[in-house]
Amino acid sequence: MSKTKIAIIGAGGLTGKELLGLLAHHKDFEVVHITSNQVHGKSLQEVFPGNPYLPQLNFVKHESEIPQGVTVVLATPNEASMEMAPQLLKKGHKVIDLSGSYRLHDKQKFEKAYKFPHAHFDQMQNVVFGIPELFREKLKNANFVSNPGCYATSGILPIAILGDLRSRIQGPVIIDSKSGVSGAGGRTEEITFAYTNVYENFRAYKVLSHQHEPEIEEYAFVGTQPSEIVFTPHLLPVYRGIISTTYIRFQEGVKEEHILEKLESKVKSEPFLRLYSSPEEIELRKVQGSNFLDMGFRMRGNTLVLVSALDNLVKGAAGQALQNLNLMHGYTETEGLLK
Amino acid sequence: MSKTKIAIIGAGGLTGKELLGLLAHHKDFEVVHITSNQVHGKSLQEVFPGNPYLPQLNFVKHESEIPQGVTVVLATPNEASMEMAPQLLKKGHKVIDLSGSYRLHDKQKFEKAYKFPHAHFDQMQNVVFGIPELFREKLKNANFVSNPGCYATSGILPIAILGDLRSRIQGPVIIDSKSGVSGAGGRTEEITFAYTNVYENFRAYKVLSHQHEPEIEEYAFVGTQPSEIVFTPHLLPVYRGIISTTYIRFQEGVKEEHILEKLESKVKSEPFLRLYSSPEEIELRKVQGSNFLDMGFRMRGNTLVLVSALDNLVKGAAGQALQNLNLMHGYTETEGLLK
Amino acid sequence: MSKTKIAIIGAGGLTGKELLGLLAHHKDFEVVHITSNQVHGKSLQEVFPGNPYLPQLNFVKHESEIPQGVTVVLATPNEASMEMAPQLLKKGHKVIDLSGSYRLHDKQKFEKAYKFPHAHFDQMQNVVFGIPELFREKLKNANFVSNPGCYATSGILPIAILGDLRSRIQGPVIIDSKSGVSGAGGRTEEITFAYTNVYENFRAYKVLSHQHEPEIEEYAFVGTQPSEIVFTPHLLPVYRGIISTTYIRFQEGVKEEHILEKLESKVKSEPFLRLYSSPEEIELRKVQGSNFLDMGFRMRGNTLVLVSALDNLVKGAAGQALQNLNLMHGYTETEGLLK
Amino acid sequence: MSKTKIAIIGAGGLTGKELLGLLAHHKDFEVVHITSNQVHGKSLQEVFPGNPYLPQLNFVKHESEIPQGVTVVLATPNEASMEMAPQLLKKGHKVIDLSGSYRLHDKQKFEKAYKFPHAHFDQMQNVVFGIPELFREKLKNANFVSNPGCYATSGILPIAILGDLRSRIQGPVIIDSKSGVSGAGGRTEEITFAYTNVYENFRAYKVLSHQHEPEIEEYAFVGTQPSEIVFTPHLLPVYRGIISTTYIRFQEGVKEEHILEKLESKVKSEPFLRLYSSPEEIELRKVQGSNFLDMGFRMRGNTLVLVSALDNLVKGAAGQALQNLNLMHGYTETEGLLK
């Protein structure tokens, strides 16, 4: 059977690199077209000399003609994705967008979070949000998928899988997240990401103003009334991985066993969710390089403390994208992500 | 004028090392006696070759006779401090204890947190808790001071200085703390602290069961009714420094300006508290090696997010101890800690 | 065609983990038996939760019966390998030994370097040293292969491929190597490898006494008269990778173009050797996770400065082992190591 | 007695910061004037919030009038120092220049190394090279001192103190150096120094072309015929410290005891040189923050392997500058650098 052909627009970035690495071991997909405005003309081996499994392929410019019928991955900045997605869809390409441009259904919240006007907001009717644990069936028939943010995935899933217990939450849900530099833009020249400013250092950023906060608010409470999300991202002196410590206060009567039951039943049927017997067992080390989201929790009185971990470049970006691509094309969901 | 003589029991550890470094630049104190059961017989220069300012002094055993009339710093494990403090006080020494043995006034909470019976709990009547910002006057006349825990200092101060606003807190106060390995016991042989397990890693530990949680609960709410503290410590891949992100929900009507006013008025009169105009400005880099506690906050609705930073070895241990020693002996509080 | 079955003895260590990871993507090999005396009874997923591609397999004890006819990888300590290899060979297993026990043909040098008597030195007649770039043909027919040390591979190859130019070397060859902790034993409890002692630190160790020095001396000069090797290993605060800076003084008349010609001609026909146009282009980043050995050099007068890099866990251990396993079984040499 | 007044031109950089920190504890110097073109107008506390011992002082522009009679420290780029030094000397200021502009007495070598023409080379007659261990007496009467480079100090001293043994060196001396980012320019925006490119990485740079190589060649062999220096700097993923591994081949008859005797006799009379009994004892940890240069060596046959360590910001820059300032003003050489 012939493989499904993939084009990656903006393949020279960290997510593009990660996705190329995953696809290199995938039996059903074949990358045929990669673009980059920085390194066009160069080969994958030149640009990513560390990964020997990458195919023999050269970067071309964004503008270059995209082969008909291929599935397109947009690993482009927000505004570029916003512009390209509709055109590609019109040409009949299946599209998965890794940017933030097609995640929020509230135009005001979008423009407040992303600070530019959305020129193609009508597309929000057609897009499917790419968290398989929540939208698996829709994803199987989707032509247009918006891949979630790394912090958003880390924040949404532990809440969403609490199911009807979410209706018994009191007050705001607090998500204290810590991310490695690859999730926070660490490839840039910014002095903020100079070794001297990251190593042996730690700090919060975009407190109460991160663009993933409204994304968590929209998708963590699907099917129930939303609680306020209080989200604080921090910058860790590590390269990859996000740990989120989530604090939820429940109404009287919600007990540890109810939480355990919900999480266990959900995790049982999910290939990439893992539940540990204590929050102390959760660490970046266990998820780096994998598509897993690990969780552990403890409860005291009505207060739940849940620690979750994922790799921002895999389950937080390229890995989840591949999970979605598998679903969109009718392949085994775990293909290329799990033995 | 002759200097005040100091003995440090257990001077071979990280805190002892830090205190020796600070005292080396102090004009009114002179260290005359240092003990260590691991390295007795060796000189300071052999044990800490990195610090050229240390005095010519050799380590002796814990048991060795302590010179009469010297002020004693106990940098010993909890049970050792518990035993030694009363004897030293009886002999007329002034004592400052850096362990956790004389911090909690609730015997049950103490024994639950520290997991051993307290043989000298009567001493709790005489001890002063060593946070100058809260107990300055008492400290000036104290013969027995219990120096606070590093996490505790980081957790207590931002709450305590809110003054009467604390009576308008709703629900639990959440403190999400991140500490470098020197605060979490990183000098030990434990495989947990092997480079391989700390570098490029991050994790929570002692969730809802850390011994500093009851300490925060006891001292953050002095003079008002206490709120529940929900405290989660995490291990950072850095050597020194603690950042705590504190989440407080207030009743209707508490506004950002009220918080600002409280913090500003308190900070104005305190030499080691610094308030920044935004929480994003707080970082370990700015406090490492100093006795400062830095704070910045943001508010949305009734929810306060306050980020604070300190150096666990200085304001969290040796620096605060020196601040207390200055007060106990009638010296300038900032001597040896500030230009 | 059915896959070749593999048993890994001592699969719980860093090299075992790495080899399992590589074999998980290999089309011709199947791991059927893994042993560990620390974690027997546990599954691969429990022991290495970070790698989702690992097969469903449980660790058994070293003593457990090894299935007939499987190829055995010894990832065991030196003395264990020394004992097991002959027994396994007698039973007709193909064996590749990752320890140092069967590398040196000079018994005195062996016992000086490894500090224990060699009980089966007669086996040195049958073993093939596992550097494909030097012994490819022999490896194709080998039943017993000794996989080289990580430093040794890094030291031997840049010299050996200089071919007849090696006969024009003056004085000792100096190899100044820097390794990440995974190459230097960083998984141990030793306080030397505590985060506090590795991070922000750097030091030399085993100066002129490292057991890989005689290994380099034996194999770097095959087919020519040997020069003295002066080898200094250093410990880097990184996890994986070795960079060696090699200094060679040649007799009059050896010019940069001669070196370039030798290296280029050799590299052209070798899948895992890469030559860069300058030594400044060589960095750990480019080889981590791959089986490549990268080289770049500069010459001034008669002095050659050659910088080489490899991943100590891949080309320095598990990757080269797989390269050898491919050859031993008549598979494509690069299978599972290169696209 | 009134203090000697100091002006630091370019005090906003890493070396300026370090020198300000050292002077803050010095009893005989007082910093009265600090300039920076980046942060003029700001106070020391704003720019360096981490150091509580800094004086109350504001940065002014380079152009601002320098108070008469003060001693001037030039922590400026090479060309700026080249221009300013002669003017300041003419006005009667004592000057110490931390740049490379007044170190090399061979104009051709200077212009090859620094890549700009030297407009004031006549000043080379008046300048004293600031290594007290070699030029102490001259420094006591010097009005113009050129402070050595960090690599240069690390490379020169171990060779120079070998005294007459230097005349029995065969062939080139090889110096393999490894430096933290603060020595290699890590404060810049360059992508080379981004966390992502430094952490978990290692590489050589400026192989055989570093500007400190001719500096080592000029000063390591004062009083004897020079050997060729082969110098390779490498970038460590650490912040501060340099370790140099020096390889020297001697003529027949030079024995370990001769080396030991030379080093011991020299070290005995030097406050900042320390000799350890083995090269494995040398590590960055032991010199970071201090003005010490640590050494340890091993010999085999005629080959000496000597490992040395220093803090590039202290003995490699600000600390040695203070040592020189003490000598230039007749103060105790170790004042402010040693207890």
Q: What is the pLDDT of residue C300?
A: 97
Neighbours of B43 (CB within 10 A): 15
Tell whether B334 lies on the interface with A, counting CB pairs under 8 A.
no
CA C221 to chain centre: 17
Report the alpha-carbon distance of residue C99 to residue C13 in Å, rounded. Answer: 12
Note the pLDDT tens digit of each residue in D247-286.
999 999 999 999 999 999 999 999 999 999 999 999 999 9
Tell whether A191 lies on the interface with D, counting CB pairs under 8 A.
yes
Q: What is the pLDDT of residue A184?
A: 77
Touching C (3+ Cβ pairs <8 A), the chains are A, B, D
Closest CA of chain D from B56, distance in Å = 8
Mean pLDDT of chain C: 96
- pLDDT, mean of residues D208-224: 97
Using the predicted structure, report yes or no on whether residue A123 has a pLDDT greater than 70.
yes
D339 and B290 in contact by Cβ < 8 A? no
Using the predicted structure, report yes or no on whether residue D339 has a pLDDT greater than 90.
no
Tell whether C92 lies on the interface with D, counting CB pairs under 8 A.
no
**If you measure CA to CA, which chain C residue comes closest to D299?**
C208
Q: Which of A175, A176, A250, A297 to mutate to test the interface with B (most CBs of B within 10 A)?
A: A176
Q: What is the pLDDT of residue B339?
A: 76
**pLDDT tier at D185, thresholds 50, 70, 90:** low
Q: Report residue A30 as tokens.
A: 């074949």
Note the pLDDT tens digit of each residue in C52-61.
999 999 999 9
A195 and D189 in contact by Cβ < 8 A? no
Tell me the domains of chain B and their CATH numbers.
Answer: 4-148+316-328 (3.40.50.720), 151-312 (3.30.360.10)
Using the predicted structure, report yes or no on whether residue C186 has a pLDDT greater than 80.
no
- pLDDT, mean of residues D90-102: 98
**Residues 6 or more apart from B202 whose CB is under 8 A from it?**
A178, A236, A238, A241, A243, A283, A284, B234, B235, B236, B237
Active site residues of B: 150
Q: Which of B230, B240, B279 faces A247 most closely, judged by CB atoms?
A: B230
Q: What is the pLDDT of residue B279?
A: 98
**C154, C212 in Cβ contact below 8 A?**
no
By the 10 Å C-beta count (0-12 exposed, 13-18 middle, 19+ buried), A86 is classed as middle
**pLDDT tier at D43, thresholds 50, 70, 90:** very high
Q: What is the pLDDT of residue A339?
A: 76
Q: What is the pLDDT of residue D183?
A: 84
**pLDDT tier at D188, thresholds 50, 70, 90:** low
Using the predicted structure, report yes or no on whether residue C189 has a pLDDT greater than 70.
no
In which residue are the tokens 């490119």 written? D197
Chain B neighbors of C197, CB-CB under 8 A: 195
- pLDDT, mean of residues C297-323: 98
Chain C neighbors of D303, CB-CB under 8 A: 172, 228, 230
Question: Which DSSP helix (H) or strand (E) runs through A47?
Answer: helix A44-47
Q: Give one DSSP letter per residue of A272-283, joined into a string.
A: TEEE-SSGGG-B
Give the three-class secondary structure for B71.
Answer: strand
**If you measure CA to CA, which chain C residue comes closest to B183?**
C196
Q: Which of D181, D200, D239 faces A239 most closely, judged by CB atoms?
A: D200
Low-confidence residues of chain B: pLDDT under 70? 1, 185-189
Q: What is the pLDDT of residue B193?
A: 86
Q: For residue B10, give the DSSP letter.
A: T
Note the pLDDT tens digit of each residue in A204-220.
999 999 999 999 999 99
Q: Which of A24, A290, A337 faces C50 most closely, judged by CB atoms?
A: A290
Dihedral sign computed on CA atoms, order A188, A194, A200, A204 = negative
**D248, D303 in Cβ contact below 8 A?**
yes
A234 and B284 in contact by Cβ < 8 A? no
A232 and B285 in contact by Cβ < 8 A? no
**D155, D177 in Cβ contact below 8 A?**
yes
Neighbours of A297 (CB within 10 A): 23
**pLDDT tier at A334, thresholds 50, 70, 90:** very high
Report the alpha-carbon distance of residue D92 to residue B132 in Å, rounded. Answer: 49
Q: What is the pLDDT of residue C339?
A: 76
Note the pLDDT tens digit of each residue in A22-81.
999 999 999 999 999 999 999 999 999 989 999 999 999 999 999 999 999 999 999 999
Neighbours of A214 (CB within 10 A): 22
**pLDDT tier at A194, thresholds 50, 70, 90:** confident
Closest CA of chain B from D243, distance in Å = 15
A236 and B241 in contact by Cβ < 8 A? no
Q: What is the pLDDT of residue C5?
A: 98
C247 and D230 in contact by Cβ < 8 A? yes
D280 and C178 in contact by Cβ < 8 A? no
Dihedral sign computed on CA atoms, order A266, A271, A276, A277 = positive
Mean pLDDT of chain A: 96
D202 and C243 in contact by Cβ < 8 A? yes
Using the predicted structure, report yes or no on whether residue A294 has a pLDDT greater than 80.
yes
- Better pLDDT: A145 or C191: A145
Using the predicted structure, report yes or no on whether residue C185 has a pLDDT greater than 70.
no
Written as one letter, the residue type at C258 is H
Which of A95, A104, A150, A337 is catalytic? The answer is: A150
Note the pLDDT tens digit of each residue in D18-40.
999 999 999 999 999 999 999 99
Report the alpha-carbon distance of residue B255 to residue D293 in Å, rounded. Answer: 56
Note the pLDDT tens digit of each residue in C57-113.
999 999 999 999 999 999 999 999 999 999 999 999 999 999 999 999 999 999 999
Closest CA of chain C from D276, distance in Å = 13
Nearest CA to C33 out of C69, C60, C2, C13 is that of C60
By the 10 Å C-beta count (0-12 exposed, 13-18 middle, 19+ buried), D257 is classed as exposed
Q: What is the pLDDT of residue A189?
A: 65
Closest CA of chain B from C15, distance in Å = 14
Report the alpha-carbon distance of residue C271 to residue C12 in Å, rounded. Answer: 29
D285 and B50 in contact by Cβ < 8 A? yes
Put simply, the chain B residues between 196 and 255 with a CB less than 8 A from any chain C CB are: 196-200, 237, 239
Touching B (3+ Cβ pairs <8 A), the chains are A, C, D
For D94-202, strand residue ranges (E) read: 95-97, 128-129, 144-146, 169-179
Note the pLDDT tens digit of each residue in D288-299.
999 999 999 999
Q: Which of A230, A239, A303 faces B303 most closely, judged by CB atoms?
A: A230
